[in-house]
Structure 1
Amino acid sequence: MDLRRTARRRRSHRLDPADLRLGDYVQRTVGLKDRLGKPLEAPTKAGQITALRTFFRDCREWEWLPRRFDPLRALAIPRSITALLGPDPRVIADEIWAKLLWAGLNLDPADLPQTRSGHFYPFELVRAVTLTCRGGRARPGRSR
């Protein structure tokens, strides 16, 4: 067996997540008209790799694959993708922020959903979290 030819074949069949585009490997493209062919977002790429890694981990656990294959190492999410993951804060318009502020200041126990046994969280806790988030606008980056 020619090892160079085998390595070349492996490289040609390798799937690079950076090359994935919306609509690849699907049969139905009904809801994708305007987005068809655009590159996948970083969280989607990471999710696809994680699903593949989980599949191969299960195959290894069920002894369908040899133990020497480590899917965590072989299918690690590339740094180029992990660098793009993380929070993506958005600016909230002033009029929306004013509505949220007013709702937080005028919060009543009747505004919260109830189960048969009462409120899921104590009203005082919800009120404290509401007021904490409300104060985050005055000092950006402080309430994390």
Structure 2
Amino acid sequence: MSETGFSFGPRRHPRRMSLTPMIDVVFLLLIFFMLSSRFGIDAVLPIAGGSEGTGSEWQGAPRLVDIAADGLMLNGAAVEEEALADALTPLMPPEGGAVVLRPREGADLQRLVEVMDLLRADGFDRLILVE
């Protein structure tokens, strides 16, 4: 008994501080920074659009490439990917012109990029993307 007559039981040792909440916060911060950072390299797609407000005269024959999920069409006629450059060459003006790309229903972005890369590899640098 103590002098006042009250007993609070045996004296306890102070509790150690738990590191679990601090570890949780560190992991949450790690996840946040991993998700908000950029991984990989962004590809730049150089395409021309109609939003610049500058008009120009269309030169040469029409060069409209419809991109579908299962094939390509040049001016409404089906064409194989390997033959696209050969079919476009006679339609191009001598000073170079633009090729209009129109994705169709079912064609995803990867398919569009593949066709753009195919055309760029064959020397067609001026590409216009329309809806």
Q: Normalising TM by the smaller chain, what interval?
A: under 0.3
Q: Considering fraction of residues, name the structure with more strand.
A: 2
Q: Normalising by the residue count of structure 1, what TM-score does the alignment of the two structures yield?
A: 0.19
Larger radius of gyration: 2
Q: Normalising by the residue count of structure 2, what TM-score does the alignment of the two structures yield?
A: 0.20
Q: Considering fraction of residues, name the structure with more helix.
A: 1
